[in-house]
Amino acid sequence: MAPAGQRQTGWWLLILPAFLLMTAFYVAPIAQVLAISFTEPQPGLGNYERLFTSESVQRVIGTTLRICTITTALALLLGYVLAYRIALAEARARRWWILVVLVPLWISVLVRAFAWVTLLRRQGLVNQALMESGLVAEPLQLVWNEFGIVVGMVHYMVPYAVLPMLASMREIDPRLLAAARGLGAPRQTVFARIFLPLSLPGLIAAGVLVFIFSLGFYITPAILGGGKTLMVAEWIGLQILDLIRWGLGTMMATVLVVTILATLAVFSRVVDLRRVFGSGA
């Protein structure tokens, strides 16, 4: 997609001012975080040793990776279906669909998390409906566990999944699909052999974006997890603010940042990262 190294350079130049600003306000504090993770409580690699020895550290990482993977998979699936629907819609219908997808982005994440709690709690609308229809006898535990977190996170992430996928689907020439049918391919084959491969860059981009976003989720898991299921962001907050274990907290923060950078580095080789940040073209 970007055959010329020259185009890459141009792109980097464009973000140079932002990059300088980031250096002053982000890199400096992050460097400090990094430093603390090696110095508190004593200098050395003690905090990082915990990655291999502490069961609670491993559990929180495991939980985070599991929730993020499930969230990413579900958000991609739902997002792909939505994006496909939107990409093939008429111009007028498409504008409405995009609005519907974007509206949640303008609602505070806090409001959305509490809305889900109201819907999913034992006396909530969902449990009431399930019991009245006779599907379940007892209210289900739908919130304050991983299920609740995943529901909230998927809801939050679907728009972020839709946008890069929609951008890459809109680039597909509709005549290619007509041509494939004209050459004898039934609809499923047209989708599997033409549409899906051509929308793959958008799918991967959306996957990277959603996964990275999910790793750092704080408010949604904190509210929908009810303090019982911890993901790294909340765990870091707990270490630093409640338990005053700066060394451990900053170690995990460093691990999180490194993971995100590594993910980006790996996928920048596979896919045009400009898509991830929504440039579309």
- Footprint on this chain of other proteins (rule: CB under 8 A): 173, 175-176, 178-186, 189, 193-194, 197-198
Structure tokens at 194: 């033409």
Least spacing, CB of residue 85 vs other proteins, in Å: 21
Scan for tokens 């052999």, then name that residue. Answer: 193
Q: Between 17 and 184, name the residue whose CB sits nearer to other proteins.
A: 184
Choice between 108 and 188, CB closer to other proteins: 188
Nearer to other proteins, 185 or 260 (CB): 185
d(CA 251, CA 238): 13
Please say whether the beta carbons of 89 and 172 come within 8 A.
no
Residue 189 Cβ, how far from other proteins at the closest point, in Å? 6
- Least distance to other proteins from the beta carbon of 271, Å? 14
Query: Which residue is it, tokens 């790294």?
Result: 232
Beta carbon of residue 178, minimum distance to other proteins (angstroms, whole number): 6
Query: What is the smallest separation between the CB atom of 191 and other proteins, expressed in angstroms?
Result: 12
Element (H, E) at 48: helix 46-53
Residue 62 vs 186, nearer CB to other proteins: 186
Neighbours of 67 (CB within 10 A): 21
For residues 38 and 191, which CB has a smaller minimum distance to other proteins in the complex?
Answer: 191
Other CB atoms within 10 A of residue 267 CB: 19
Q: Which of 166, 195, 165 is nearest to 179 (CA)?
A: 195
Smallest gap from residue 267 Cβ to other proteins (A): 19
Place of tokens 């034992």: 122
Tell me the C-alpha distance between 104 and 106, whole Å.
5
- Cβ-proximal residues to 50 (8 Å cutoff; 6+ apart), any chain: 57, 248, 251
Q: Are 186 and 222 in contact (CB under 8 A)?
A: no
The residue among 10 and 174 lying less far from other proteins, judged by its C-beta, is: 174
